[in-house]
Structure 1
């Protein structure tokens, strides 16, 4: 039987993130072969992943990253099963490292197949499922490009937002973050009226009509009153029309005009856990 040193165990632990005892057992089983020990730990992760495939992974960390030119951003959520794991520093560090990598990819599938420290991202997730003992996966993956992209991550990494502005002007960084905070807090359904899905509009009109009927309003008045309620829905639920959370006298659109007369928000992405 090969003699396993503490230095070898520690090296495997740093490489894989697995616990000391798991690393020692893997090295013993591999008779000191480092690469074989890594493979043993990966296979353990695959077994745990298979057992936990149907588990709910609604906890985790949502991370937003913006490139050095501030014209492209990404959000990923690294999902797990419990809040205890989600708050672990090692887990959050991994989420940030993966988000940095995700900046270079246009979709989730390409990202999962990308190299991460000698293995694919998907293999790393499987490995960490074995290490942590919980289902670990990438939940959200959102990209955004614009002349200026800003970001905001809500405390606890539960919500991450990207906002795209029409120009990189003085004050764009603060404005983009303010609008991202708005989207995090108020959860708009769309950027503007045109972005609201027709099924949502139809549903809101029907809800309004049902409420009006219960109030005893005449049937011939329902369409006009419901349209008025729909305007209120747009005001409350589309980003550019919402009351700005830092100054309710302004809409988000008006706030941006106060930064620069031509400035507009042209897109946003929001990922929330739970």
Structure 2
């Protein structure tokens, strides 16, 4: 039977697959749309299987925040090349996944893959279909959700969507403006913790040992090595603890001082850089 251009267009609108692939699938299915969709899906599975061992290091980091600002989601979706990362359909898929995570709050990646997108497909099915269409491995690497009872979740996505941040801010002051400043600070300066007491003990001990070793190599007397190491640890806190860092928009003040001016506080943050 003849396959009309209208039929091909309809199947393309249903699946998002290229025109020639849609035409071949309809011809193979004898014009049966459901069978043609299944053929295209199987093709996607074959491509996905072939690409399974490929490295997917490019992609996007995107966020979604609820209208009331009480919840935010961040997700890293990977592909093989930067060219695909800039593909509009890939970007749309990543944003859909972020929104789904925000709404459904899956426990882990396995649970996420089983969730349904607005078009009725599961996330796993959509990944397979997109892999078949684009011809590259597509994968969801990680995600997080932040919620707050009394504050607000602020999102910052750096241009290019290779770096994004969520922060939880609380208080009666400039939540939006100062919260965005803090999110940009986290993006730019990559702190290890909000406060020094939240720095993991293994990180603290590692920094002390590095400082002690450096002091010994410089020939410093043993009885002052610990004091030198503590001084270096203080410098580490100023460089790597969010509230003690110099504020990126005004290095004359710390982030803590900026927050005091704004009448807010920061509870926690999540920072994703592509591939980290």
Render the CA deviation track for 1:133-181: whole Å, top value 9, x for unaligned.
11101122011112111100001000011010123x3421111111111
Structure 2 stretches of 5 or more lacking a match?
Answer: none
Partners of 1:214 and 1:105 in 2: how far apart?
54
Partners of 2:208 and 2:35 in 1: how far apart?
62
Q: CA deviation at 1:190?
A: 1.8
Q: CA deviation at 1:81?
A: 0.7
TM-score (norm 2): 0.93
Q: CA deviation at 1:227?
A: 1.3
Task: Indicate the residue corresponding to 1:144 in structure 2.
Answer: 146
Task: Indicate the residue corresponding to 2:261 in structure 1.
Answer: 258
Secondary structure (helix, strand or coil) at the match of 1:22 reads helix
Compare 224-233 and 190-199 and name the one that shifted more: 190-199
Q: Which runs of 4+ in 1 moved over 3 A?
A: none
Residue 218 (str. 1) matches residue 218 (str. 2): no
Residue 163 (str. 1) matches residue 167 (str. 2): yes
Q: CA deviation at 1:265?
A: 0.3
Structure 2 residue aligned with 1:178, among 172, 177, 181?
181
Alpha-carbon contact 1:140-1:271 (below 8 Å) kept = no
Partners of 1:243 and 1:8 in 2: how far apart?
61
Alpha-carbon contact 1:27-1:37 (below 8 Å) kept = yes
Q: CA deviation at 1:74?
A: 0.4
TM-score (norm 1): 0.94
Q: Superposition pairs for residues 102-121 of structure 1, below 5 Å?
A: 102-106=101-105, 107=107, 108-116=109-117, 117-121=119-123
The 1:227/1:170 distance shift into structure 2, 3 A limit, reads closer
Partners of 1:37 and 1:151 in 2: how far apart?
41
The 1:109/1:253 distance shift into structure 2, 3 A limit, reads farther
Q: Superposition pairs for residues 219-234 of structure 1, below 5 Å?
A: 219-234=222-237
Residue 11 (str. 1) matches residue 10 (str. 2): yes
Task: Indicate the residue corresponding to 2:243 in structure 1.
Answer: 240
Q: Superposition pairs for residues 120-131 of structure 1, below 5 Å?
A: 120-131=122-133
Task: Indicate the residue corresponding to 2:38 in structure 1.
Answer: 39
Render the CA deviation track for 1:5-38: whole Å, top value 9, x for unaligned.
2122122222222111111111111211112211
Q: CA deviation at 1:266?
A: 0.2
Task: Indicate the residue corresponding to 1:132 in structure 2.
Answer: 134
Structure 1 stretches of 5 or more lacking a match?
Answer: none
Q: Superposition pairs for residues 2-81 of structure 1, below 5 Å?
A: 2-81=1-80
Render the CA deviation track for 1:35-67: whole Å, top value 9, x for unaligned.
221121111111111111122211111111110
